[in-house]
Amino acid sequence: MPRYFAAFALVLLIGLVLVRAQLLKRQGIKAIHFGSIDKKDFLIPPFALFYFYTVFAAAINLPTISKQEFFHSEMVSWAGVLFCAGGLFLFAWSLVSFGKNFRVGIDTTHPGKLVTTGAFGISRNPIYVAFASVLIGQFLIFPTVILQIYFGAAVWLFHRQVLREEAFLKTHYGQEFTDYSRRVRRYL
């Protein structure tokens, strides 16, 4: 069961993003701005697809680069399910909190208002915290060196994007963002 939940979590995360983007598009809002600031971002999707394959392959016993795990514990796997579920909950709450201001990437032309309530009242970046929680959960379910490397790379990429977004927010919202930054932590 934990193995299938790890794969399901990926499907749900991607599905939620695509559904939200489509709903916003119907309202005339372009939500996908991935790669509009830095074209090097387009190097990320092939690695993400390999990650998805790795998780799905491990879940349904397809060939993978390595099946060797650091450890195997049913109890730790269930803890991984809890991390994935918590990440999914936080992600969904973040989408609700964002409302019409949800974007993938930085929207420099129509950024919307600064969201500081809901999930954004406890973390300035709850979506990245949610993704990290899911990745931790997947590592606990499939404790392989590949997922460990991916988690480290993802943390670096998330932090890189957060710094970009915060620079834009500071420039665009000025004192309002500075005050918000003083009240709410960057991650947790």
User: For the chain, which residues make up each domain, given as ranges?
Assistant: 2-183
Torsion, Cα 124 129 41 96, to 10 degrees, reads -70
Q: Are 130 and 97 in contact (CB under 8 A)?
A: no
Q: How high is the pLDDT of residue 126?
A: 98
Q: How high is the pLDDT of residue 36?
A: 79
Q: How high is the pLDDT of residue 65?
A: 86
Q: pTM to 2 decimals?
A: 0.93
Question: Phi then psi for 32, rounded to 5 degrees?
Answer: -100, 115
Among candidates 168, 161, 169, which has minimal Cα distance to 40? 161
For 114: left if phi > 0, alpha if psi spans -120 to 50, otherwise beta; the answer is beta
Q: In the chain, count of helices (H) and strands (E)?
A: 6, 0
Structural class in CATH, domain 2-183: mainly alpha
Q: How high is the pLDDT of residue 110?
A: 87
Rounded distance between C-alpha atoms, residue 58 and residue 112, angstroms: 40
Regions of the chain short of the pLDDT cut 70: none
Rounded distance between C-alpha atoms, residue 147 and residue 3, angstroms: 14
Distances in whole angstroms, Cα of residue 148 to Cα of each of 54, 101, 141? 12, 32, 12
Beta-ladder partners of 69: 144
Among candidates 99, 114, 121, which has minimal Cα distance to 23? 99
Angle between helices 2-26 and 126-141 (to 10 degrees): 150
Q: How high is the pLDDT of residue 143?
A: 96
Q: How many other β-carbons are positioned within 10 Å of the β-carbon of residue 125?
A: 23
Q: How high is the pLDDT of residue 40?
A: 79
